[in-house]
Amino acid sequence: MPAPSAATPPFDPGDPLGIDDCLDPEDLAVRDTVRAWAADRVLPHIAEWYERGELPGVRELARELGALGALGMSLEGYGCAGASAVSYGLACLELEAADSGIRSLVSVQGSLAMYAIHRYGSEEQKRRWLPAMAAGEIIGCFGLTEPDHGSDPAGMRAHARRDGSDWLLTGRKMWITNGSVAGVAVVWARTDEGVRGFLVPAGAPGFSAPEITHKWSLRASVTSELVLDDVRLPADAVLPEARGLRGPLSCLSHARYGIVWGAMGAARTCFETALRYAGTREQFGRPIGGFQLTQAKLADMALELHKGILLALHLGRRMDAGRLLAEQVSFGKLNNVREAIEICRTARTVLGANGISLEYPVMRHATNLESVLTYEGTVEMHQLVLGKALTGLDAFR
Ligand SMILES: Cc1cc2nc3c(=O)[nH]c(=O)nc-3n(C[C@H](O)[C@H](O)[C@H](O)COP(=O)(O)OP(=O)(O)OC[C@H]3O[C@@H](n4cnc5c(N)ncnc54)[C@H](O)[C@@H]3O)c2cc1C
């Protein structure tokens, strides 16, 4: 191996593999802007929001995120930033380094609600909703999960039937991020023509979105039920280009890509917290970072953190090249969320009793990741996706 040149920077504990060298200046600029915003607007308050189980000022936060270009960031036109998939991923990482709830707000807005309209909507629907959503003036939500149908949305009961030229939409959706603050809900329902997507404006008679409380995860995120009782919608409320479950599933694949990056943000915060703590906390007369067992933990955390970021970058480059497969997104989601939660749990042990305190971000991130592990396809669903891709055998049912 040739010796590194004199110009090679020394080993950096924050970037041990030199991944920053692989990022374009635009990507780095986006990352730094989002990181600075989160440091200013989220980090000083997040523990309090989390403890209260609220996301106060969510509309103002959405407008600020819109001004940053973070909403529908990789979409083209209609006021969207048209950024690269890698830039979008880095933004997700920085937002989730602050809190998974903030990243969830952005993912659902951009990758689920806006993406659905952008990909499957009519020109008129795009013009009506996307610019205001990109600016954060209108928040969107995405209703697929139902009380009795989560991993298997094919069994959904929500249904819409035609009544003259209108549609009448009835059903219940559960665990819907942004639901009660949304100005528009993208709701998936079965019809005589298969599963279709409907744009339901807030305030439509028969539609309500009660908030779900008593959560022990994603506490600084709005999660709601959607209740739809014979909601009358005009003919142009249906997304014309989406037919069948492929529609919502393609949106989920787009959002999962952001999670591949985001999870590494939560992991990075926990790793950095543990590293700092290990350098200052003394037991048996020396910093705990000087004990081999602690160093083994830190080394293993760093391995999985930076392998995960490399994997996310690889998937981002494939997405930018138009070559990213849904199975590859499953690969990333399964690996990175599972490893992120493991990093957070290990960081928790490094902090001892302080690890369970809200004074430190570790337990908050670990409990948030319990939701991230479940939504957008559980661990088991992604194992089954990969199992099917590897063997050619479908083990879902
Ligand atoms: C905070 C939060 C926010 C969310 N936001 C949204 C949102 O905005 N929009 C939305 O539509 N949904 C949302 N969800 C819902 C989420 O996508 C579902 O919870 C998820 O798909 C799992 O569904 P479920 O909870 O019904 O679990 P289930 O599907 O009932 O699964 C329970 C367990 O059984 C396992 N299992 C199921 N089938 C199989 C099988 N064939 N083989 C092996 N194991 C199996 C699962 O992996 C899981 O471990 C959110 C959830 C949370 C927690």
Q: Give me the pLDDT at residue 308, please.
A: 98
175 lines ligand 1 (CB under 6 A): yes
Distance 380 CA to ligand 1 centre (A): 10
219-243 residue pLDDT tens: 999 999 999 999 999 999 999 999 9
| Cα–ligand 1 centroid distance for 102 (angstroms) | 20
What are residue 185's DSSP bridge partners? Answer: 141, 200
Structure tokens at 131: 């610019």
User: Ligand 1: which residue has its CA nearest to atom 37?
Assistant: 151
Q: How does pLDDT run across 306-357, given as a tens digit for each residue? A: 999 999 999 999 999 999 999 999 999 999 999 999 999 999 999 999 999 9
**CA-to-CA distance for 169 and 171, rounded, in angstroms?**
7
The Cα–Cα gap between 339 and 271 comes to 12
What is the mean predicted confidence (pLDDT) over 142-150?
98
Judge whether 240 and 121 are in contact, CB under 8 Å.
yes
Res 153 pLDDT > 90:
yes
* Mean pLDDT, residues 29-43: 98
Gap between the Cα atoms of 360 and 353, Å rounded: 11
Do 82 and 75 touch, CB atoms closer than 8 A? yes
**390 Cβ neighbours under 8 A, 6+ residues apart:** none
State whether the beta carbon of 396 lies less than 6 angstroms from ligand 1.
yes
How far is residue 214's CA from residue 216's CA, in Å, rounded to a whole number? 7
Q: Please indicate whether residue 380, judged by its CB atom, sits closer than 6 Å to ligand 1.
A: yes
| Helix, strand, coil share of the chain (percent; to 5) | 55, 15, 30
The neighbouring-strand residues paired with 197 are: 188
- Given the structure tokens 């539609």, which residue do they identify? 207
**Interatomic CA distance for residues 168 and 86, integer angstroms:** 40
d(CA 328, CA 347): 28
How many angstroms separate the Cα of 261 from the Cα of each of 208, 251, 264, 294, 340? 33, 17, 5, 26, 10
Distance CA 203, CA 189 (A): 19
Asked whether 188 and 144 are in contact (CB, 8 A), the reply is yes
Rg (CA), the chain: 22
* 166 strand-pairing partners: 163
User: Which residue do the tokens 């690269």 mark?
Assistant: 84
With cut-offs at 50, 70 and 90, classify the pLDDT of residue 2. Answer: confident
pLDDT above 90 covers a percentage of the chain that reads 98
Per-residue pLDDT at 10: 92
7 band by pLDDT with thresholds 50, 70 and 90: confident
CA 151 to ligand 1: nearest atom? 29
Q: What mean pLDDT value characterizes the chain? A: 97
